């Protein structure tokens, strides 16, 4: 293996420490803690784990965590009423509605009901528009975490060729926007892309957000490129009955060619909640009209 490992776990720890300092200063100035509200509808086991971890990390960073757990058969109108109450609550700086929502609810309608200035997930169309026009808003946590890791490793990204594999609203598209903002030359690949290996081979930066275990092979990677693996895929383990997590990149072959690479687990994954907390402390300062050097967090 020749690639340097990009340690997202360590970076996220450092980020949380910086957030905790800002959260303490915020509480002293505002006379209250910054607050993050998480709404969970139903009992999806993976969502329950995410919500529990978000709550724990919010509190550990010195912020207030408000959890709203609603039954799976809650009506859309009742969920919208909860969102409205959180929009109006001055103790709540950030609102996150855990996705996916049960099938009888319209996710777009629910996200659209969140006040964009409390939309710390960055999924509201107003924040999507702000990102694409270069206005301050909130950026989805996973792609923002990827850019933080890239800048930490490479410094300026200006002029680099970047290929983003995947065009989802939560990862691929905002990732491409962020890389454009960093003055990369960006190609977005997807399931209809012709000759994906050849497209990837041109890239100084490869971001894989596909959801297909170990799809991106080492021979697709330009020697020395930086590889960010967003994928989280559970596959059967070597021992019977056990499973393991792998990314969208074939780590063994890619790490022999790349200059730097994120592992799975321990790469992009730990960044998502840390960036959610970063967005929340930013929201809190904006909501109270307090100064904060957002680029330094």
Q: Which of 33, 57, 93, 98 is catalytic?
A: 98
Residue 98 catalytic?
A: yes
Q: Which of these segments, 44-52, 150-158, 167-175, 283-291, binds ligand NAP (CB under 6 A)?
A: 167-175
Coil, helix or strand at residue 263: coil
3-class SS letters over 145-164: HHHHHHHHHHCCCCCCEEEE
Cβ proximity to ligand NAP: between 82 and 149 the closer is 149
Told to check if 108 binds ligand NAP by CB under 6 A, we report no
Q: Which of these segments, 72-80, 115-123, 190-198, 217-225, binds ligand NAP (CB under 6 A)?
A: 190-198
Told to check if 207 binds ligand NAP by CB under 6 A, we report no
Contacts with ligand NAP, 265-284, as mask; x by CB under 6 A: ---xx--x------------
**The one among 6, 165, 258, 277 contacting ligand NAP by CB under 6 A:** 165
User: CA 294, CA 281: separation in Å to the nearest integer?
Assistant: 9
Cβ proximity to ligand NAP: between 269 and 287 the closer is 269
Told to check if 172 binds ligand NAP by CB under 6 A, we report yes
Cβ proximity to ligand NAP: between 99 and 126 the closer is 99
Residue 239 catalytic?
A: no
Residue 121 catalytic?
A: yes
Told to check if 232 binds ligand NAP by CB under 6 A, we report yes
* Kind of pairing between the strands at 161-165 and 94-97: unpaired
Beta bridge partners of residue 213, listed in sequence order: none
Virtual CA dihedral for 89, 92, 98, 104, nearest 10 degrees?
Answer: 10
8 A C-beta contact, residue 209 and residue 174 = no
Give residue 86's Cα distance to chain centre.
22
Q: Which helix (H) or strand (E) holds 66?
A: strand 64-70
Cβ proximity to ligand NAP: between 260 and 274 the closer is 274
Cβ proximity to ligand NAP: between 259 and 265 the closer is 265
Backbone angles phi, psi at 31, to 5 degrees: 75, 15
8 A C-beta contact, residue 113 and residue 84 = yes
Backbone angles phi, psi at 66, to 5 degrees: -115, 115
Q: Which residues bind ligand NAP (CB under 6 A)?
A: 142, 165-168, 170-172, 189-193, 196, 209-212, 230-233, 248, 268-269, 272
Catalytic residue positions? 54, 98, 121
């Amino acid at each position: 293996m020749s690639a340097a490992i990009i340690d997202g776990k360590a970076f996220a720890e450092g980020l949380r420490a910086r957030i905790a300092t800002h959260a303490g200063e915020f509480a002293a100035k505002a006379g209250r803690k910054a607050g993050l509200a998480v709404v969970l509808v139903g009992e999806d086991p993976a969502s329950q784990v995410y919500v529990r971890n978000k709550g724990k990390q919010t509190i550990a960073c010195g912020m207030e965590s408000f959890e709203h757990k609603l039954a799976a058969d809650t009506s859309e109108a009742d969920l919208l009423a909860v969102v409205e109450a959180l929009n109006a609550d001055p103790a709540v700086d950030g609102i996150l509605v855990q996705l996916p929502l049960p099938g009888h609810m319209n996710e777009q309608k629910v996200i659209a009901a969140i006040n964009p200035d409390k939309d710390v997930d960055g999924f509201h169309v107003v924040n999507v528009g702000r990102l694409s026009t270069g206005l301050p808003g909130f950026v989805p946590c996973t792609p923002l975490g990827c850019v933080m890791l890239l800048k930490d490793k490479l410094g300026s990204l200006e002029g680099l060729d970047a290929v983003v594999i995947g065009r989802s609203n939560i990862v691929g598209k905002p990732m491409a926007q962020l890389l454009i903002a960093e003055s990369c030359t960006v190609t977005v690949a997807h399931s209809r892309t012709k000759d994906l290996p050849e497209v990837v081979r041109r890239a100084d930066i490869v971001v894989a957000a596909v959801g297909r275990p170990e799809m991106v092979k080492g021979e697709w990677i330009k020697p020395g490129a930086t590889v960010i693996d967003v994928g989280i895929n559970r596959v059967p383990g070597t021992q019977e009955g056990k499973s393991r997590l792998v990314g969208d990149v074939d780590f063994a072959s890619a790490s022999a060619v790349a200059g730097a690479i994120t592992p799975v687990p321990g790469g992009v994954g730990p960044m998502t909640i840390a960036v959610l907390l970063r967005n929340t402390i930013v929201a809190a300062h904006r909501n109270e009209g307090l100064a904060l050097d957002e680029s330094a967090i």
